[in-house]
Amino acid sequence: MALLFTWIPGSMVSVKETNWLKFEQEMLRSEEVLKVDVINNVKVEVYIKPDKLNDPRHSEVAERPFLNGPNPGPHYYFNIGSVEVFRNDMDLAQANRSDSEKIPVTYTPRKNWLGDSLGWIIMLAIIIGFWFIILRRMSPGAGAGGGSSIFNFGQSKATVFDKDNRSTVSFKDVAGLDEAKTEVKEIVDFLKNPQHYTRLGAKIPKGVILVGPPGTGKTLLAKAVAGEAQVPFFSLSGSEFVEMFVGVGASRVRDLFKKAKDKAPSIIFIDEIDAIGRSRGRAASFGGNDERESTLNQMLTEMDGFGTNTGVIVLAATNRADVLDKALLRPGRFDRHIYLDHPNLTERKEIFKVHLRPLKLNGEVDIDFLAGQTPGFSGADIANVCNEAALISARKKRKAVEKQDFIDAMDRVIGGLEKKSKIITPKEKEVIAYHEAGHATVSWLLPNADPLVKVSIVPRGKALGAAWYLPEEKQIYTTSQFFDRMCAALGGRAAEEVVFSEISSGALDDLEKVTKQAYTMVAYYGLNEKIGNLSYYDSSGSSENSFQKPYSDETAQLIDEEVRALIEQAYVQTIKILHENREGLNKIAEMLLEREVIFKEDVEKILGKRIVSSTNRTQGPPIPEKKKENDYSDETDKGDDDDKIKPIKRSGSA
Question: Could you read off the pLDDT of 580-635 as tens digits, one per residue?
Answer: 999 999 999 999 999 888 988 899 999 988 876 654 333 333 333 333 333 323 33
Contact 63, 71 (CB under 8 A): yes
Interatomic CA distance for residues 572 and 636, integer angstroms? 10
Interatomic CA distance for residues 278 and 284, integer angstroms? 12
The predicted structure's pLDDT at residue 285: 46
Question: Could you read off the pLDDT of 271-281 as tens digits, one per residue?
Answer: 888 888 888 76
Q: Given pLDDT bands bounded at 50, 70 and 90, which one contains residue 546?
A: low
> Residue 99's CB: how many other CB atoms inside 10 A?
6
CA-angle at 243, arms to 240 and 248, nearest 5°: 95
- Write the CB contacts of 112 (distance below 8 Å, at least 6 apart in sequence): none
3-state secondary structure of 558: helix
Q: Given pLDDT bands bounded at 50, 70 and 90, which one contains residue 485?
A: very high
More confident residue, 349 or 140: 349
The predicted structure's pLDDT at residue 620: 33
The predicted structure's pLDDT at residue 568: 96
The predicted structure's pLDDT at residue 446: 92
What are the residue ranges of helices labelled H in 330-459?
A: 345-356, 367-372, 379-395, 403-415, 426-445
The predicted structure's pLDDT at residue 465: 85
Nearest C-alpha neighbor of 476 from the set 624, 339, 288, 615: 615
3-state secondary structure of 481: helix
Residue 312's beta-bridge partner residues? 266
Nearest C-alpha neighbor of 575 from the set 538, 644, 628, 539: 628
The predicted structure's pLDDT at residue 266: 85
Q: For domain 16-113, give the fold.
A: name from scop (3.40.1690)
Mean local confidence (pLDDT), 426-441: 92
Residue 44's beta-bridge partner residues? 38, 78
Plot region of 309 (φ>0 → left; ψ -120 to 50 → alpha; else → beta): alpha
CA-angle at 141, arms to 136 and 143, nearest 5°: 60
Contact 5, 113 (CB under 8 A): no
What 8-state DSSP symbol labels residue 323? G
Interatomic CA distance for residues 184 and 233, integer angstroms? 14
Widest Cα–Cα separation across the chain: 107
* Residues listed for the chain: 654
Residue 293 annotated among the catalytic residues of the structure: no
The predicted structure's pLDDT at residue 610: 85
Question: Could you read off the pLDDT of 38-67 as tens digits, one per residue?
Answer: 988 889 999 988 888 888 888 888 777 655
Cα torsion 222, 224, 230, 232: sign: positive
Whether 455 has a pLDDT exceeding 80, the answer reads: yes
The distance of Cα 250 from the centroid of its chain, to the nearest Å, equals 31
3-state secondary structure of 316: strand
- Residue spans of the domains in the chain: they are 16-113, 159-279+292-339, 345-415, 426-541+549-607
3-state secondary structure of 383: helix
265-295: burial string, b at 16+ Cβ within 10 Å, e else? bbbbbbbbbbbbbbbeeeeeeeeeeebbbbb
- The radius of gyration of the chain's CA atoms, rounded to the nearest angstrom, is 36
Mean local confidence (pLDDT), 104-121: 80
Mapping DSSP onto H, E and C, the string for 494-546 reads HHHHHHHCCCCHHHHHHHHHHHHHHHHHHHHCCCCCCCCCCCCCCCCCHHHHC
Interatomic CA distance for residues 295 and 303, integer angstroms? 12
Question: Could you read off the pLDDT of 486-495 as tens digits, one per residue?
Answer: 999 999 999 9
Q: What CATH number should be reported for the domain whose range is 345-415? A: 1.10.8.60
The predicted structure's pLDDT at residue 443: 93
Residue 162's beta-bridge partner residues? 165
CATH 3.90.850.10 fits 159-279+292-339, yes or no: no
Mean local confidence (pLDDT), 282-290: 51
More confident residue, 54 or 136: 54
Question: Could you read off the pLDDT of 81-90 as tens digits, one per residue?
Answer: 888 888 888 8
Q: CA dist 149 to 140, 258, 302, Å? A: 10, 16, 21
Helix 218-228 to helix 178-192 angle, to the nearest 10 degrees? 30
What 8-state DSSP symbol labels residue 425? -
Nearest C-alpha neighbor of 555 from the set 512, 522, 602: 522
The predicted structure's pLDDT at residue 284: 46
Interatomic CA distance for residues 283 and 494, integer angstroms? 43
Interatomic CA distance for residues 281 and 2, integer angstroms? 65
Cα torsion 394, 387, 367, 361: sign: negative
Indicate the pairing of strand 233-237 with strand 266-271: parallel
Mean pLDDT lowest for which of 58-72, 181-195, 456-470?
58-72
Nearest C-alpha neighbor of 222 from the set 260, 193, 183: 183
Per the omega criterion (within 30 degrees of 0), is the bond before 447 cis? no
Q: Which is the catalytic residue, given 45, 291, 302, 436? A: 436
CATH 1.20.58.760 fits 426-541+549-607, yes or no: yes
The H or E element that residue 106 is part of is strand 105-108
Contact 409, 385 (CB under 8 A): yes
CA atoms within 13 A on the CB side of 26: 13
Residue 37's beta-bridge partner residues? 45, 106
CA atoms within 13 A on the CB side of 288: 5
**DSSP letters spanning 20-63:** HHHIIIIIITTT-EEEEEEETTTEEEEEE-GGGTTSGGGTTTSB
Nearest C-alpha neighbor of 364 from the set 401, 390, 338, 394: 401
Interatomic CA distance for residues 360 and 354, integer angstroms? 13
